[in-house]
Homo-oligomer: A and B are copies of this chain.
Amino acid sequence: MTDSRPSIGSAPAQADGVVISLDAMGGDKGPQVVVAGLEAFLAETPGARVLLHGPEQVLTPLVRKLGDRVRIVHAPGAVAMTDKPSQVMRTGKDTSMWSAVDVVRDGRAQAVVSCGNTGALMAVSMLRLRKVPGVNRPAIACLWPSRNPTRFNVMLDVGADIRADAEDLLVYALMGTSYARQGLGIARPRVGLLNVGTEEHKGRQELKDALELMQEAAPKGEFDFVGFVEGSDIPSNRVDVIVTDGFTGNVALKTGEGTATLIAGLLREALNLGPLSKIGALFSMRAPDRLRLRIDPRRVNGGVFLGLNGTVIKSHGSADATGVAAALTLAHRLATAGFAGRLAARVASAVALAQDNGTDGGATPATGVEAPQEQQR
């Protein structure tokens, strides 16, 4: 597995020790597009190596020109978008998704990327990687375009579980803090709790309880807690991490995407109406391009599963090569940071401290939070 040949579009480089596991079969657009994204990623990341999972006879011709930084792991089956997670858990051992998760379990790769069925990927990941001690419900975190200098905010949960109680929301705050630190390089993230108003008396009881838990946990958790935030704050620069349950988070995520799509469509129509507008559009063509670079969902492609013993990244099923490459780049960044281990240490120490303080660590890991192993990189 040495880099004996030049890789595409880049000088030969030493392997950086990071191996990413990639499910070739998950995407709506087929393995060709996944491999095209892989090719772009390899060109940008000279040190990385990849284990590619799928049917050998399909993948071998596709990866021939990628050199020996890519190894195929044969898996004859594929998970369909319509497969039920419970079914995949029972009968999915021969699938590329299962194989891709399993090499992370075995320590042969440090992170896995799949464009496949979200529910199935979460189910297989929970089964094979197991939850980190102290985490009751794993969460999916996304990056949301924002007004912050990093250009993104972290939001979780965006769909792993439709329920979350106050303790789950606190764990989400800790995990989101870890992700903002390792994924966006924010030393002391500001955490907000999504609600229908910013007044403390508003909202559901579990949100009021979570508010108190987070206020207590913030000093030792090394985050700033800004209290309740509203939907309009999600893309703002008031906050770096937005915590909510997976039902609300999923609706918000898709509402944001739907709104962006509507506006983009109307803008295109507006620019295409009338001769003067057309001339204007020609001149200002670079402006929409700049806008697109800023909010293009393909460039922030990848929901990260948090709370498992291993880094799992779910790319959009409809991701094109740019999207797949973005997800691989994120996986590489998090793997290099030793992200999964740092997050586990943070949650574990929160639970341990809560137990030291004589409370029930499983139910209220909130009274003391410290994560000595986690430093900003």
Question: Is B295 touching A266 in the complex (CB atoms < 8 A)?
Answer: yes
**Cross-chain contact of A262 among B147, B266, B287 (Cβ < 8 A):** B147
Q: How far apart sit A260 and B263, CA to CA, in the bound complex (Å)?
A: 8
A228-264 near B? 1/0 per residue, CB < 8 Å: 0011111110000000101110111111111111110
Give the Cβ gap from A253 to chain B, nearest Cβ, in Å. 7
Give the Cβ gap from A112 to chain B, nearest Cβ, in Å. 23
Q: Which of A201-243 contact B (CB under 8 A)?
A: 203-204, 230-236
Q: Which of A173-181, A271-279, A319-327, A354-362 contacts B (4 or more CB under 8 A)?
A: A271-279
- Say whether chain A's binding surface is mostly helix, strand, loop, or mixed: helix
Q: How far apart sit A372 and B296, CA to CA, in the bound complex (Å)?
A: 49
A285 at the interface (CB under 8 A from B): yes
A377 at the interface (CB under 8 A from B): no
**Cross-chain contact of A270 among B258, B259, B291 (Cβ < 8 A):** B291
Q: How many residues of chain A are within 8 Å of chain B by beta carbon?
A: 57
Question: Is A231 touching B246 in the complex (CB atoms < 8 A)?
Answer: no
Question: Is B270 touching A280 in the complex (CB atoms < 8 A)?
Answer: no
Q: A162-B204, A232-B261, A236-B258 are in contact. List 19 more A-B contacts (CB 8 A).
A: A146-B262, A230-B254, A231-B253, A232-B257, A233-B258, A235-B258, A244-B251, A247-B248, A252-B255, A263-B291, A263-B295, A266-B291, A267-B287, A270-B287, A274-B287, A276-B284, A277-B284, A279-B284, A281-B287
